[in-house]
Structure 1
Amino acid sequence: MVKSVLEYLENSAARFPDKKAVADDKSSMTYSELVNNARNIAAGLLPYTERRQAVPVYMDKSCHTLALFMGAVMAGCFYVCLDPSQPAERINMILETLEAKLMVVDEKSAKKQAKLGFDGHVLNIDELMTHEVTEEENEKLAQIRSEALDIDPLYSIFTSGSTGVPKGVIVNHRSVIDFIDCFTDTFNISENDIIGNQAPFDFDVSVKDIYSTLKCGATIQIIPKQLFSFPTKLLDYLDDNNVTTLVWAVSALCIVTTLNGFEYKVPSKINKVIFSGEVMPIKHLNLWRKAYPDAMFVNVYGPTEITCNCTYYIVDREYELDETLPMGKAFPNERVFLLDDDDNIITESQPGTTGEICVSGTAVTMGYYNNPEKTDAAFVQNPLNNKYNEIIYRTGDLGYYNNDGLMCFSSRKDFQIKHMGHRIELGEIDMAINAVDDVVRACCIFHQDANKILGFYEGAADKKTITHVLMQKLPKFMIPQEFIQVESMPITKNGKIDRKLLLENYIGGENA
């Protein structure tokens, strides 16, 4: 029985020691190099860590980042990737939630780190990788490994929080192994694949890239972020590196087709395109399928809280522009079902009836790190089962069955949205705007048809000031695309802001 993702790495290293495991635009590592670098890092971390503690990784994704992830795991810890481009205030909130005692930086991120005010140990990745492992450290690492459990935390990914504090989903080895075994088998990922990594390493789409690679002895080719602004260079990069597999956010795929990239080049080796994060526009899907008529196209769905994805649909026919692409069926060893407002099950025999998407199975994660209140609200006892403990995750997403018995996504149940591939709590943006001087009250709404976040506010603040303040507090993808000043917020009969009326007035007014 596999109980640690390190077994993926070690088994592949034994089979393919000299094969390229990971590459970026500047460097690469073979499997044997990745194992050795990870061991050096693990030994270097030992004086600063205890088992099952967080190792914050404050650096851009690279070959070194992946080695650091594996090193943190070898040291008996879990890793948390922090994006250096995000505001210091947000990073500090994450570090506080983790009660972090150390963090690891590279040369590029060290200057930004110095401005965080972090008072723990700051370690340099280059120094850790060149650490010479002693016999005593080897014995310590072996002891840590022998006492490891498959429920030990592997990583944490922080998502947006409605109270203004990001929530850290904590995921263990067992959940990742359970999911990746199914994922690679279902989509025929093998040692022959080169996976073109698009997703940031602090985004759960990258988990599929990393662990599919390590399990199968494939290669992960990290694509420079800037190439997604230049489709011709992006397509050249895919072709030059013989990329076979894309596990990308929908928005990334749409960049290529929006800018007519395939008129320039169709990279020759791509045979699998797996997409998630948002509903794939049929117009763009059809353009990709036209470019790759023999490739496998897969729509996958699922939040970070259930280890990447819980449903999949292999596209097997042409879809018309007004058709809905299904979410499909559950991955093996996961149960995905719909509950109505009274917690009654909705079945395939009730097509079109909407309910909340709920998930049960080993892939359900361990909740939110250091946040029992939010954990208890979302990770709950299955209301259909009163005989024994069965924790399910209530996604807050709404879905329904189509006439073919396949589940389809409808919308969000609350004010959490999917935008640009990210899950965002609109309440977190509300709080940030409300903190701006001369803003009386704020309310953000996602305009689904226009695919943009609208920021409504009362008060005398000007829009440039609001934008400037938000850039210091929030990631760019959370900043509203448009701000609308209102004289007063419309109120419902129970005293809440009437979001529906706000949006209707916007659509019906000059801004439509």
Structure 2
Amino acid sequence: MSRAEPPRRPDHLAAYLEASAARVPDRVAVVDVDGAPLTFAALDDRAERVAAFLRSRGVGPGDRVGFILSKGAAALAVLFGALKAGAAYVPIDAGAPAERDRAILAGCGVRALFALPRNLEALVAIAPSALPETVVVVPPPGGGAADDGGAPGALAGLAVPFRDALAHARAPLEGRARRASDLACILYTSGSTGVPKGVMITHENAVSFVEWCSEVFALTPDDRFSSHAPLHFDLSVFDIHVSLKHGAQVHLIPEDVGQDPRALARFIADRRLTVWYSAPSVLALMAQLGGLERVDASALRLVLFAGEVFPVRHLRRLVERWPGPDYYNLYGPTETNVCTFARVPTPVPQDRIEPYPIGEPCSHCAALVLDQEGRPVEAGGCGLLYISGPSVFAGYWGAPDETAARFIERDGRRWFNTGDVVRVEPGAGYVYVGRVDRMVKRRGHRIELGEVESGLYRHEQTREAAVVAVNEPEGVRIVAFLVSRTGARPTLIELKRHCAAVLPSTMSPDAFLFLDALPRTSTGKVDYQALARLVPAGAGEPNPRSR
């Protein structure tokens, strides 16, 4: 096993790539979506050329560089090129509506934009004025780095082919030194309202997380990381920057493979991946539909999950199929990245029905749990979780009032209100109870919708479950959406009896609607806003129509 020492803590994310390119230039850094390998030296060279191009266009420290790209080596070259130019990168979901893209571009004032032809066409059609002066058209993965992919007609002669950007000669960066407080990226998250919010991540924020990962997970140059998360999702900070720090490989997972449980399981086996990180829903689908018993995933040594609650029944099944790795439950909103963690004891007992705790604060974070009056919560009590430390974001782009509303000052420290309710449990750290914005009051009782979902998952026919609340003049209605494990669906009476056995009467859903699959966001989480739009009028009537 290779024992090359990774670099000491830098002040800048690009330093991880640069140090590995200097230390192990010929090692494979990235395996692209088409299986093509790219060495550290080659990735660093492409990033330097993108940086030189950006500087020739006047992009420098404090600027923002946006990209609307499929995951691939080209996107990584743009990401690191922006960082090397001193700018912050702004990754935008290539599958999102053009109107959302327009809002982000206008909101953060990008100086340069790298985008796929189809996305540029959509933007030109609705808002050509939203485009910055510098626009680069990038071919989709598989088109080849030398193929410009074709510029939309409205941008002919204005958009620069990506191959021309890569043709710029490398040039040393001159001027202001890098600072840990500089902005590294802006990650847009819709939160509960659907309005994009730009989470400003500094180099100090991201580096503190990368260093914590290195401290806890004993990563080596021989590791082979998965890259399932899209680049606009905060999980990608681990996939990309942690792997490059250690001179290890990161394998970019094609979008079609990432959405197919069986193909994904084969990918993990064929690539001999050692480190996996994703939302629990991805792992749950593989546990149920991936045919894990027929593939060899014995190289896996770490399985990390974050972003939502992992239903215990699916986690148990996954551990039964993959008994070898260490499992970690990582918790944290985009604004803090991972701030608490817990190693999951395996095997998962057959009689366990409650999700595992989110654990103790990471070494680079401090946590505080306060009740509604702002008093610290004692053992056994529930309250809002606040986080302080170097990983906590700088604020929301262009929204100082919203930023101020999410922070408090206490004991000389700045604390971020996560909006999550936790229970303080001695010996286990924190147990996630739910979101403040997913708590409703019905018949005088406070109800956490996640607890209703947990109860539904205990039904033997439940593959997936999600619950939404609908506010109406007569009160709050709770509507459950279910995906059955088989073609047979439980009857309304069976579901009511099940809920009566596992939930208080106040938590029992008013309606049960069946879907073939739950809608999900581009980051793999359940899309509750889409579900709310599916609730039909009269969904609380005794015999709701299944969909």
TM-score, normalisation: structure 1: 0.80
Alignment of 1:82-481 (within 5 A): 82-107=92-117, 109-117=119-127, 118-121=130-133, 122-125=135-138, 126-127=162-163, 129-133=165-169, 138-139=171-172, 141-144=173-176, 147-160=177-190, 165-306=195-336, 308-317=337-346, 318-319=348-349, 320-347=351-378, 350-351=379-380, 353-382=381-410, 385=411, 388=412, 390-415=413-438, 448=453, 451-452=465-466, 454=468, 456=470, 477=527, 478-480=529-531
Higher relative contact order (CA 8 A, sep 6+): 1
How big is the shift at 1:238?
A: 1.6
List per-residue Cα deviations over 1:433-471 (Å, max 9, x = no partner).
xxxxxxxxxxxx88745633648598xxxxxxxxxxxx9
Distance 1:373 1:511 in 2: 44
How big is the shift at 1:124?
A: 3.1
Distance 2:377 2:164 in 1: 53
Distance 1:345 1:391 in 2: 16
2:24 is matched by which residue type in structure 1?
A: F
Pick the aligned partner of 1:32 from 36, 41, 63: 41
List per-residue Cα deviations over 1:8-60 (Å, max 9, x = no partner).
11111122111111122223321001110000000111114232111111111
List per-residue Cα deviations over 1:344-386 (Å, max 9, x = no partner).
1124xx22x110011011111101011111101113323xx2x
2:43 is matched by which residue type in structure 1?
A: L
Contact 2:263 2:290 in 1 (8 A): no
Q: Show the counterpart of 2:544.
A: 510
List per-residue Cα deviations over 1:104-143 (Å, max 9, x = no partner).
1245644344335233231234235522226xxx24x133
Residue 402 to residue 171, structure 1, CA distance change in 2 (3 Å): same
Distance 2:118 2:85 in 1: 24
Task: Report which stretch shifted further, 55-64 or 281-290.
Answer: 281-290
Residue 164 to residue 239, structure 1, CA distance change in 2 (3 Å): closer
Residue 217 to residue 375, structure 1, CA distance change in 2 (3 Å): same
Q: Show the counterpart of 2:17.
A: 9
Contact 2:313 2:353 in 1 (8 A): no
Residue 324 to residue 480, structure 1, CA distance change in 2 (3 Å): closer
Residue 43 to residue 279, structure 1, CA distance change in 2 (3 Å): same
Q: Show the counterpart of 1:22.
A: 30
Instruction: Supply the RMSD in Å over aligned alpha carbons.
Output: 2.8
Residue 397 to residue 42, structure 1, CA distance change in 2 (3 Å): same
Contact 1:22 1:28 in 2 (8 A): yes
Gaps of 5+ in 1: 418-444, 459-470, 488-504
SS at match of 2:341: strand
Equivalences, count: 441
Give percent identity, aligned residues only: 27
Distance 2:386 2:22 in 1: 40
List per-residue Cα deviations over 1:230-268 (Å, max 9, x = no partner).
323222222222211101110110110121521332323
Gaps of 5+ in 2: 1-8, 139-161, 441-448, 457-464, 473-518
How big is the shift at 1:161?
A: 5.1
Distance 2:217 2:541 in 1: 42
SS at match of 1:142: coil
Distance 2:166 2:196 in 1: 34
Contact 1:40 1:128 in 2 (8 A): no
Residue 132 to residue 248, structure 1, CA distance change in 2 (3 Å): same
Distance 2:430 2:240 in 1: 28
Distance 1:337 1:362 in 2: 15
1:377 is matched by which residue type in structure 2?
A: A
Distance 1:297 1:163 in 2: 32
TM-score, normalisation: structure 2: 0.75
List per-residue Cα deviations over 1:376-434 (Å, max 9, x = no partner).
1113323xx2xx3x2111001000122424211001112499xxxxxxxxxxxxxxxxx
Residue 142 to residue 93, structure 1, CA distance change in 2 (3 Å): same
2:90 is matched by which residue type in structure 1?
A: V
Contact 1:456 1:486 in 2 (8 A): no
Contact 2:300 2:324 in 1 (8 A): no
Contact 1:45 1:128 in 2 (8 A): no
Task: Report which stretch shifted further, 256-265 or 63-72.
Answer: 256-265
